[in-house]
Amino acid sequence: MISPSCTVGAKEGWRTTITVEELNRSSEEAFVSAVGWLFEHSPWVAERAWRRRPFRSVEHLFECMAGVVKEAELEKKLALFRAHPDLGTRLSVSEASKHEQRQAGLDRLTPGEYEEFVRLNQQYVRKFGFPFIMAVRGQTKEAIRKAMKERLGGSPETEVERALAEVLRIAWFRLKDMGMV
C-alpha cells in the first residue's frame, strides 16, 4: 500500500512533505513548484495535469502527467525532448540530470569516451532533431554508448516513440526518488 504522504522537490534540492490530498488542494503555482520539475525544464506538463485533479493516488498523478505528454501535439513533445541534455555533456544540466548521469558514470568519461559521446550525440541530433534520451538508472556508460549506436539506425517515428517512453521512465524514477512511490 502506498502512503499518501510523500516528499516532493519544490525546486530541485528543496524538499518538503506533502500528501496527494494536499497536492489536490494546492494552487496551480504550488502544484507546479512541487512536481513541475519531473519533466526536464517542462513545467507545462504539471500545469496541464493540475487541471485533472483530484488524483486518487501517486500512480494516478503519474498517469495524468503521462497522459498530458502523450496527448500533446508533436511540437510540444519535441520541445520536451529538446529540453533534455546530451548524455555525457559537461555543460550545465539540471541537478536531477546531473545526479542521474553521475550514477551511470557519465561524469567520469575518459577524454576519448567524451569525444565519442559528443560525436554520437551530434549524429543523433542531426538525424532526429532532438538529443538521445535514455533513462540511465542502472545503466553503465558502455551500455549507454551501445544503445546510442544502435538507435542511430532507427527511424524518426521509432525514435519519437522511444524518446517518449524514456522521458516517461525518467519522470517515474524521479517521482519514486521523491518518496511518492
60 classed as catalytic? no
Question: Which pLDDT score, from 0 to 100, does residue 17 have?
Answer: 65
**Range 100-109 contact pairs with CB under 8 angstroms and sequence separation of 24 or more:** 100/135, 100/136, 100/137, 100/170, 100/173, 101/136, 103/136, 103/137, 104/136, 104/137, 104/139, 104/140, 104/141, 104/144, 105/140, 105/141, 106/136, 106/141, 106/144, 108/141, 109/141
pLDDT, one tens digit for every residue, the chain (181 residues): 233 344 444 444 434 567 788 899 999 999 999 999 999 999 999 999 999 999 999 999 999 999 999 999 999 999 999 999 888 765 556 777 777 778 888 888 899 999 999 999 999 999 999 999 999 999 999 999 999 999 999 999 999 999 999 999 999 998 888 776 4
76-177, CATH topology level:
UraD-like (1.10.3330)
**Which is catalytic among the residues 41, 60, 84, 99?**
84
Domain ranges of the chain: 5-72, 76-177
Question: Which pLDDT score, from 0 to 100, does residue 13 have?
Answer: 43
The residue with cell 532526429 is 128
One-letter amino acid at 39 equals: F
155/4 Cα distance (integer angstroms)? 41
